[in-house]
Chains A and B, each alone.
Chain A
Amino acid sequence: MWLADLAGTILLLGLTAYTVLGGADFGAGFWDLTAGGAQRGARLRGMIKRSMGPVWEANHVWLIFVLVVFWTAFPRAFGPVMETLYIPLFLAAIGIIFRGAAFALRGEAATIAEARALGATFAFASVLIPFFFGTVIGAIADGRVPVGGGDPWRSWTGPVPLFAGVLAVAIGAYMAAMFLAGDAARSGFDDMVRAFRARALGAAVVAGVLAIAGLVIIRFEAPGLYDGLTSGPGLAAVAGSALAGLVTLVLVWRGRYEAARYTSAVAVGAVVAGWGFAQRPDFLPGALSFDEAAAGDPTLIALLISIGIAFLVLGPSLWLLFRLSLRGRLDTEFRPITAASRDEE
């Protein structure tokens, strides 16, 4: 019982890390997409590429972590989720191919047409992936995944899943703008700081409005989830998230980007936790509880030991990467990406 709870907590923590770090990656793609024409957007795109270069693969691996913990600890829920939501999951997977390839190869583009094609591919995929993953989360929370497989279309095209998809894009955009503003401030690019600060504040407002609208949608579409989110620990988590969101907004407003990184992570983590509290003890609402979905104790123990090893190995490694990255030890020279520029790094 408590083992399944612990595994579920770790799964949600992994999901939080992916939403914060992977989401920020996707958000950077969103700002790339909306940066404007080749000349106007050149400096923004250059800044995005420079900030993301060293960390995007490590950020992406959180997805693998979430998948692996999901199928090992909760195999009986993993099967139905995959068999029901295969359309958004497959589209997200195809998006991941496009995005990863385009980003890895963009530095090698030599002509205007190539840079544009790769850049557009990267940016479009960056928006679509969080959207489709968001619909998957929304479909699970909305109780649209029965055991044995559900409707491949209606499961993820209801109001709650679609709303979750849009919210995922907005959260990513907000995270990214804030991280990029902080990165620009560290490097002393004042025009970039202004540009991303404005985007962060705008995205924060949009995400906040969406969150409130979302609660209204959930109130009518998924009353059970709504009750969970508005009472007990669910309510505490939602309130905590709102508070952390507001603090983040103030910090960004005042240019305290470093602190804002952490409070924004808390805001996202609290939403994810609130979702977990709201639907507990159900893993697939109306179909499967956490305990029913969970693997046996020996597997859970082995998994937790593995994650313990992972923590010992990865903790210092990640700390090193982010320290080097945040201190600019891995920075490449800043170059605006115009259509014709060629990046040697």
Chain B
Amino acid sequence: MPVLPLDGLTEFAATITANVDQPYLFQARQMQALSLAVHIPLVCFGIAFPAMVLYMEGLHLRTGDPLYRAIAKRWSKVMLILFAVGVVTGTILSFELGLLWPRFMERFAEVFGMAFALEGVSFFVEAIFIAIYVYGWDRLPARAHLLAGVPIVVAGMTGSLMVIGVNGWMNDPGGFELDAAGNVTDVNPFAAFVNSNVWHETVHMYLAGIMVAGFIVAGVYAFGWLRGKRDRFHRAAMVVPLTFACLAAPVQIVVGDWAARTVAEVQPTKLAAIEGLEETTAGADLTIGGILTIPDGLSLLAQHDPDAVITGLDAVPVDERPPVAVVQTAFQTMVGIGTALAVLAAVYLATMVWRRRLPRSAWFYRAVVAAGPLALVALIAGWIVTEVGRQPWIVYRVMRVEEAVTGAGGIPVGYVTLALVYAGLAAIVLFLLRRLARRPLEVETPEEHR
């Protein structure tokens, strides 16, 4: 079987797969997007929050201060609730892969399925040790308890690595060939996983997870701080997650640059959509917010060369271009917020390092309160860039979404049902977390648990 170049593959695939008669394709995509948008913030807490909880418990073990233990214990309950909700929203995603995109799974699950199997293992490890950790307070020896938390941290990270491997593959599909009948052959699951996107996407997401979880948790206590609750509890519970987030924020800019350059190379059309670049241009300018134009900026950004040729949207037919306005707006939102958060982080780190104290301005704490929700917006915006920027492909230049979608009826019914259920779920979780936060902290005297 001759190896088909990627460009030839497109026309080729179109001749052997048929579009599905599905009038609600857009609703199916919306339903998938909704489910991802609900799940991804919980993933951030899965990636980053266990490390913060363990750090707190470690502080307790080192200093013997019961306050740190009380904070870690309280956070672990929040961690359990968020994990439990993440388990169900993650299960929904697994179902939707099949319920909404059965033809995609039918054809390609054998290529990327192994990554999901390993993600399942991570998920399993997480579930086991989160139970041991949260139910083991007061019952396991102190060091054993801390050790029981380590697999939670590791599994949270490997799990997202695996899923991102699949996403990276959808954007840079390899590890298989198509035969003359359009069947998938010569599958190499490992080659599929090691695609050109997996590493930068993973690091980008880890940092995003740390920023989202860190800024949100810190924001809760910064809110209390602003209202005069300036006790040791609020200070410690704010400083730890804030420091995690502020260390990640500046690095994220560098990683974002790495991501942009890889996109320029692997998915030039996505980059063109990000910048709304209609025609292929040498020395392309960068426009920020529609106002500020940096000469040769895009060429510099994408290839670190002011004269570099940037592929425009005109390189592909009209029906193979993503919706430019959505991708462009999402990208600018992400970059704008990311830059602002990096500035906030710089202020915090500079004050802590040189003045050896917390910033004093109320505006700083207001900014920390706002940083959590903003980080969340940037996270979702970033995923919109990745996912909408890939359209109309589900597997980049191999399978279009209209070939992948289910032929089943009832998509609008499912979409509305799921939206209502998720809205209710979000309301209940927020309500209960608020009440959990209002309970007085149970600080025990050291003798009680030794």
Contacts and interface: CB of A to CB of B under 8 A. Distances in A.
Contact of B88 (A87, A100, A298, A321): A100
A307 interface: yes
A324 B98 contact: no
A101 B186 CA distance: 42
Given A72-B113, A298-B188, A317-B129, A64 B91 contact: yes
B132 interface: yes
Interface in A292-332: 295-296, 298-299, 302-303, 306-307, 309-310, 313-314, 317-318, 320-321, 324-325, 329-332
A97 B406 contact: no
Interface in A67-120: 67-69, 71-73, 75-76, 78-83, 86-87, 89-90, 93-94, 96-101, 103-105, 108, 110
A152 interface: yes
Given A65-B120, A295-B109, A313-B121, A97 B421 contact: yes
A306 to B, nearest CB: 4
A119 to B, nearest CB: 14
Given A152-B409, A330-B131, A63 B114 contact: no
Interface stretch (A51-59, A201-209, A252-260): A51-59
Given A58-B128, A104-B85, A329-B140, A71 B113 contact: yes
Contacts of B94: 64, 67-68
Contact of B131 (A57, A71, A96, A152): A57
Given A58-B127, A64-B90, A79-B105, A309 B139 contact: no
Contacts of B102: 78-80, 82-83, 149
A261 interface: no
Interface of A: 53-55, 57-58, 60-61, 63-65, 67-69, 71-73, 75-76, 78-83, 86-87, 89-90, 93-94, 96-101, 103-105, 108, 110, 149, 152, 295-296, 298-299, 302-303, 306-307, 309-310, 313-314, 317-318, 320-321, 324-325, 329-332, 345
Interface string B408-449: 111000100110011001001100100110000000000000
Contacts of A314: 121, 124-125, 128
Interface residues on B, range: 35 or more
B111 A299 contact: yes
A104 B84 contact: yes
Interface centre among B121, B188, B409 (most CB of A within 10 A): B121
A330 B132 contact: yes
B88 A72 contact: no
B408 A83 contact: yes
B99 A86 contact: yes
B187 interface: yes
A276 to B, nearest CB: 20
8 contacts: A72-B113, A80-B106, A83-B407, A149-B102, A152-B408, A303-B113, A317-B125, A330-B135
B301 to A, nearest CB: 37
B81 A104 contact: yes
Contacts of B87: 57, 60-61, 100
B331 interface: no
B110 A54 contact: no
A298 B107 CA distance: 15
Interface in B89-138: 89-92, 94-95, 97-99, 102-103, 105-111, 113-114, 116-121, 123-125, 127-132, 135-136
B351 interface: no
Given A63-B91, A86-B410, A330-B131, 9 more contacts: A57-B131, A61-B124, A73-B113, A93-B92, A97-B88, A103-B84, A108-B81, A296-B110, A299-B189
Given A79-B102, A101-B428, A330-B135, A69 B117 contact: yes
A82 B127 contact: no
A43 to B, nearest CB: 21
B233 interface: no
B80 interface: yes
B413 to A, nearest CB: 9
B84 A100 contact: yes
Contact of B407 (A110, A149, A299): A149
Contact of A71 (B91, B109, B123, B189): B109
B190 interface: yes
Contacts of B244: none
A110 B91 contact: no
B19 interface: no
Contact of A79 (B90, B106, B128, B130): B106
Contacts of B108: 75
Given A57-B87, A76-B106, A89 B99 contact: yes
B205 to A, nearest CB: 20
A80 B408 CA distance: 11
A101 B313 CA distance: 45
